Amino acid sequence: MDKKLCVLPCNGIDKSLGVVARTVALKLIELEPEMNLICPVLLNTNDERYETILKESNIVIIDGCMTRCATKLVDERNQKIFKRIFIPAMSKQFKIKPGTNLELNENGQKLAEKISIEIIKELKASEYDEISIEKKLEEFDFYEITVDKYYFQVPKNSYFFNENDCWVKPNGNTALIGISDYLQNRVSDIMFVELPKVGTEIEQFDDVGSFDSVKTVLDLISPCSGRIISVNKDLKEHPEWMNQDPYRKGWFAELELKNFDEDWELLMDGSGYFKYMKETITKEKEEMDFKN
Partner 1 sequence: MSESYDPEKETFMGVPRKKIPWWPTIDYVKCNFCMECDKFCPHDVYAHIEGEEKKLIVKNQYNCVVFCRTCAKTCAPDALSFPNKREITKLIKKFRSENK
**Is residue 94 involved in binding partner 1 (CB under 8 A)?**
no
Measured from the CB atom, the residue of 68 and 249 that comes closer to partner 1 is 68
Minimal distance, residue 205 CB to partner 1, in Å: 5
With respect to partner 1, which residue has the nearer C-beta, 21 or 43?
Answer: 21
CB closer to partner 1 out of 122 and 272: 272
Q: What is the x/- site pattern for partner 1, positions 43-72, by CB under 8 A?
A: ----------------------xxx-----
Which of the residues 19 through 48 are near partner 1 (CB under 8 A)?
none
Query: Per CB under 8 A, does 92 bind partner 1?
Result: yes
Counting contacts by CB under 8 A, is residue 89 touching partner 1? yes
Instruction: Give every CB contact of residue 186 below 8 A, 6+ residues apart in sequence.
Output: 165
Q: What gap in Å lies between CA 200 and CA 2, rounded to an integer?
A: 29
3-state secondary structure of 195: coil
CA–CA distance, 211 with 252 (Å, rounded to integer): 10
Q: Over the range 122-160, which residues count as b (16 or more CB within 10 Å of their CB) and which as e?
A: ebeeeeeeeeeeebeeeeeeebeeeeeeeebbbbeeebb
d(CA 163, CA 94): 32
Compute the residue count for the chain: 292
Pick 16 or 57: Cβ nearer partner 1: 16
Alpha helices, DSSP H only, in 156-255? 181-187, 234-237, 241-244
Q: Interface mask (CB under 8 A) for partner 1, residues 142-181, using x and -? A: --------------------xxx-----------------
Window 201 to 230, contacts with partner 1 (CB under 8 A): 203-207, 210, 216-219, 221
Q: Is 97 in the site for partner 1 (CB under 8 A)?
A: yes
What residue ranges in 172-222 does DSSP mark as E strands?
174-179, 190-194, 201-202, 207-213, 217-221
If binding is defined by CB under 8 A, does position 240 make contact with partner 1? no
Q: Which of 107-112's residues contact partners 24+ apart within 8 Å by CB, and which partners?
A: 108/16, 108/19, 108/20, 108/23, 109/23, 111/20, 112/20, 112/23, 112/24, 112/27
Determine which residue in the list 6, 7, 9, 15 makes contact with partner 1, applying CB under 8 A.
Answer: 15
Which among 88-96, 119-127, 129-137, 249-257 is the span making contact with partner 1, rule CB under 8 A?
88-96
Pick the binder of partner 1 from 50, 82, 86, 247 (CB under 8 A): 86
| Residue 213, helix vs strand vs coil | strand
Q: Which residues bind partner 1 (CB under 8 A)?
A: 15, 17, 65-67, 86-89, 91-92, 97, 100, 162-164, 203-207, 210, 216-219, 221, 265-266, 286-287, 290-291
